[in-house]
Each structure stands twice: as structure tokens, then as C-alpha cells.
Structure 1
């Protein structure tokens, strides 16, 4: 492993620790050249899950992009970062399951899974996400969406 400080390939592992139910390993390393200590992570790499966009273009699944969208919807809501991470973990697991043997999932299915999750977590976040995901163009669409779930509550 290349030292991030001096670029030397000569280093040793000081400590190894298993993380996340054995799915990854954290290693503390020390560079023999400059003495710098750094951390590396090792995990099994499976075939990349691909997102099929409406235009039929494919792009790799991005956990960060999913988390960013959920974070925006939940901004200034009383939801902790830990809860957001649990939501993202759950959605990532579901997406992988739906990906099947070809490791592809439509972006529309991910959007619907996010909406379903947010509906049960925070209704304001649900409407925020829906307004972007469904591309609301006017106030009437907001009102219709809110009326839809207020009917379900009654």
C-alpha cells in the first residue's frame, strides 16, 4: 500500500480490526520510509449495482448521492444522522436485492422506495422529496400530494 504522505510502498500493518459483521477489515499501517501512520480498509468487491435512468442510460449506484437526497429532504427536521444512515443502509440493501442477477435497478424504483421510507419517517420530508422526484411544477401538485395522505389518515 502506498503511503499517502511520502509515496513509499514500504509499510507494515500495526493493527487489524474486523468491522461491520465481518464484511470489512480496518488496518492501521505505518510507513517505513517516513513513519506516517494511516488507515486502510479492505472489503469484498462485488459486481457494481447499476442504476438504469429513464433515458436508459446506466450509472453506478452512489450511496453518497442517495444520502445527499435524503439529507436534503430531512434538512431541519428532527431526525438524527444515525437515523439517516439507517435509512440509507436499508434502502441500499433493498436496492441490491432488487438488482437481481444482472445487478441493475431502475432509478424510478429507487425513488419510490425512498418515498415509501420517508412517508413513514417524516411527512414533510416525504413532500419535499416528492416535489423534486416527481418534478412538481406548481402549488396545485403540492396540495394534491398533501390531500392524498391526509385522506389516508382520516
Structure 2
């Protein structure tokens, strides 16, 4: 395990606890290089949950990828990290609850955008501009106008 602060590869476990649902173990670790503490989570690796991309490829669902996209959208915005974690948790639960063990990126993206719109509209527009791959300013303007007029922005396919 590499330290997220200094990259040192040696650490020690300070505390271990089961999660409330007993589906993961939370470990507090201390880096032996810089002595900073960080948290890791261990989960049982089962059959992976998949996301079907727009071109038909299947990719393993990645919590970190979702969180990374949300962090970029919420950069310099007054959005609490706990809200982002909640969106990631809901998204993961949505994928896990699929009877086929997979969801389309369209379904996942729309869920994330609907949650993000409730929290911060600027972050929502940032996320939507990347997710929906706006080609020009006109598409961006249309999305903003629909948001300002109180309409639900079009669900593009």
C-alpha cells in the first residue's frame, strides 16, 4: 500500500473495524515515511459488476472513477465530500442491484447527474458537459436554458 501523501510503500495498521453492514473492513494506517495517517477499505472481490459503454464494450464498475469525475466537477465548489461519497454509494448500489450485474453508462450517468443537480447546479453543468460530450457552445447554452427555465434537461441517448 503506497502512502497517498508521500508515496512511501511501508505503513502500519493502527486500527481495524468492520463496517456497519459487515461487507468491508476499514483500516486506519500510518505511513512509516511521513507518519501521516490515512484510511483504506477492504471489500470482498466477487464477480465484478459491469458498466456497458456507449460503443458496447463492457468495463468493470469503478467507484474511484466515479468519485474522480465528481471531484473534477465539484472543484472549487462548496460541495461537501460526504455528499460526493453518498452519490458514489448510491451509484454503486444502483449497479449492484441490477439483476444482470450490469448497467449502461447512460443509466449510470443520468443517475449521477440527477443527484448532482440537487446539490450544486454549476457542478451539474460541468459534469454534464463532459458526460454528454457537448460539441459546441450551442449545446452548452441549450442545457443552461433548460436548467434556468426549470425544465429537466433532455435525456440524450
TM-score norm. by structure 2 comes to 0.72
Map 1:25-104 → 2, pairs under 5 A? 25=25, 43-97=43-97, 99-100=98-99, 102-104=100-102
Distance 1:21 1:147, change over 3 A: same
| 1:89 Cα deviation after fit | 1.0
Bigger Cα Rg: 1
How much has 1:90 moved relative to structure 2?
1.5
Aligned-residue offset at 1:92? 1.2
Aligned partners of 2:24 and 2:41 also within 8 Å: yes
Describe the shift of the 1:129–1:151 C-alpha distance in structure 2 as closer, same or farther (beyond 3 A): same
Residue matched to 1:105: 103
TM-fit CA distance, 1:87: 1.5
Q: Which string of whole-angstrom CA distances, capped at 9 and with x for unpartnered residues, describes residues 27-66 of structure 1?
A: 79xxxxxxxxxx9965433321011111111110010100
* Shift in CA distance, 42/75, structure 1 to aligned 2, threshold 3 Å: closer
Query: Which runs of 5 or more structure 1 residues have no equivalent in the other structure?
Result: 6-13, 29-38
Contact 2:52 2:102 in 1 (8 A): yes
Q: What runs of 5+ residues in structure 2 fail to find an aligned partner?
A: 1-8, 29-38, 152-157
Whichever structure has more helix as a proportion of its residues is 1
User: What is the Cα-based RMSD across aligned positions, in Å?
Assistant: 2.6
* TM norm structure 1: 0.73
Question: 1:132 & 1:125 partners in 2: Cα distance?
Answer: 11
Contact 2:63 2:88 in 1 (8 A): yes
- The match for 1:144 among 139, 142, 145 is 142
